[in-house]
Amino acid sequence: RVLLVAPLSTLLGQLNWQGELQREGITPCLLSATPKDQRPSLLRPATIRHARLQRRWATGWFAVNYEALRTQPELLDGPWDGIILDESTRIRTPQAQITQTLTSKRIDHIQHRAVLTGLPNPENPLDYFCQFKFLDGHFMGADNFWAFKHKMFYQGFSEWDWQPRPKTRERIKTYVHQRAFVLTRKQAGVGSSKVRQQRSVELNPAQRRAIKEMRKDFEIDGTETKWATVVHIWLQRIAGGFHPVTLELISSAKIRLAESLIVEDFAHEPVVMWFRFNEEMLYLQRWLKTRHPKLRVEMVRGAVARDERPKIQERFQRGETQVLLMQVKLGRYGWNLSRSSTAVYYSNSYEFEDRSQSEDRIIHLTKKDSCLYLDLVTMGTPDEDVVASLSDKRLTARLFNNRLSDSIQKVLR
């Protein structure tokens, strides 16, 4: 009896866990799609034993998404022989409810455990702790995250800036390699090389006025803030061509650039285009359908029904869709979009894991041709710093975040 826990986007569909297990002769039971009042179906029919009826758990593979498990933790109480966490960075934050559930004594009876992820430490080495605590009950001998943090790290200039003590990184690296199977695509000799390019547009007068007002008063058209993070979001909305409060289009430069790439540069190629904000994606879809009605365009965002998402993926892979517009938070895990070798970033999430994971959606083990990653950049905004950071071969999540923070301060100054 194996319990597989993963984001829903990696579970459903013939190109994901569901299809892969079926090709191995295994038909998984998807608990995510099973209403709570039907969960008794996990039990086999009653059998006569010792003159009374008894029911016992069925055997096989059972799959559930993290959100469903968080609200139904009693699923862990079953007589599982093994449990697998896919995209295990979902439990890297110790305060999260799902992390506390999956690192509690509730899983002590499950003997075999595994975690799978392409980027186990997207923020810093502390991200390893909870994933290994799930595996072994401890990390490097410590079972308390906060005690480990204070022992192995020291606080920097701010309460969230924790730096490793001398030799901490080396000790963690050695431990991880002893306890985990670690292999890069380059070491395995599979996958594609990544080619990065950018296309730029300039700020128009309306965008310049908005940035000037924000820089002067931390305000935009009567809406005030005292938080740099809010200004951060405003800046990126402006870079995308939209007013940060009304969400109205104030510059069509990026929209037109995206259109020209799709209908001219990549006219006969499948393209995946990534977005941080839904209004950008919705506007571009309407724009393309109005001006190019024969263009086959589909969009994936939170409002798209869950059972429809695998069908969209399959249509794209079969060649029935030319352009796929994706919300980066929704599409970063599990999607196989390897029919395309071109990913265009209309706007970027400023979380390193989002960018790293979304880039791999067009990578496949059997694919050898290079993949193109094209950033659409509005000059004079933090868009530029994303591209500069990604081009640095020494890039880490901390360096990535620090550079973006510095770029915001530069704009405000």
pLDDT tens digits, one per residue of 241-272:
999 899 999 999 999 999 999 998 898 899 99
CA distance 297 to 278: 15
Q: Which tokens sit at 263?
A: 């209908």
Question: What single DSSP character describes residue 13?
Answer: S
Q: Which tokens sit at 111?
A: 């003997």
CA distance 391 to 273: 20
Q: Which tokens sit at 225?
A: 């803030």
Which phi and psi (to 5°) does residue 263 adopt? -95, -15
Rounded to 10 degrees, the C-alpha dihedral 117/118/123/128 comes to 40
Q: Which tokens sit at 75?
A: 């699923």
Which of 32-46, 178-192, 275-289 is most confident?
275-289
Q: Among all chains, which residue has been given the structure tokens 């029911």?
A: 55
Q: Which tokens sit at 16?
A: 């994901």
Q: Which of 92, 104, 44, 36 is nearest to 64 (CA)?
A: 36
pLDDT band of residue 393 (cuts 50, 70, 90) is very low
Q: Which of 225, 278, 221 is nearest to 245 (CA)?
A: 221
Q: Which of 95, 96, 94, 97 is nearest to 139 (CA)?
A: 94
> Cβ of 278: how many Cβ atoms within 10 Å?
16
pLDDT (tens digit per residue) in 195-236: 888 888 989 999 999 888 887 788 888 888 888 778 888 888
State the pairing for strand pair 61-64/29-30: parallel
Q: Which of 126, 123, 170 is nearest to 151 (CA)?
A: 126
Q: ∠371-375-393 over CA atoms, to 5°?
A: 65
pTM of the predicted model as reported, rounded to 2 decimal places: 0.71
Q: The dihedral of CA 276, 278, 280, 281: what is its sign?
A: positive
End-to-end Cα distance, the chain: 59
Burial of 46 from C-beta contacts in 10 A (0-12 / 13-18 / 19+) = exposed
pLDDT (tens digit per residue) in 326-381: 999 999 888 999 999 999 999 988 777 888 889 999 988 888 888 999 999 898 88
213 contacts 238 by C-beta, under 8 angstroms: no
Q: What's the pLDDT score for residue 398?
A: 61
pLDDT band of residue 36 (cuts 50, 70, 90) is low
Beta bridge partners of 142: 139
At how many degrees (to 10) do helices 228-239 and 205-217 cross? Answer: 180
Q: The dihedral of CA 232, 233, 236, 242: what is its sign?
A: negative
Which phi and psi (to 5°) does residue 359 adopt? -60, -35
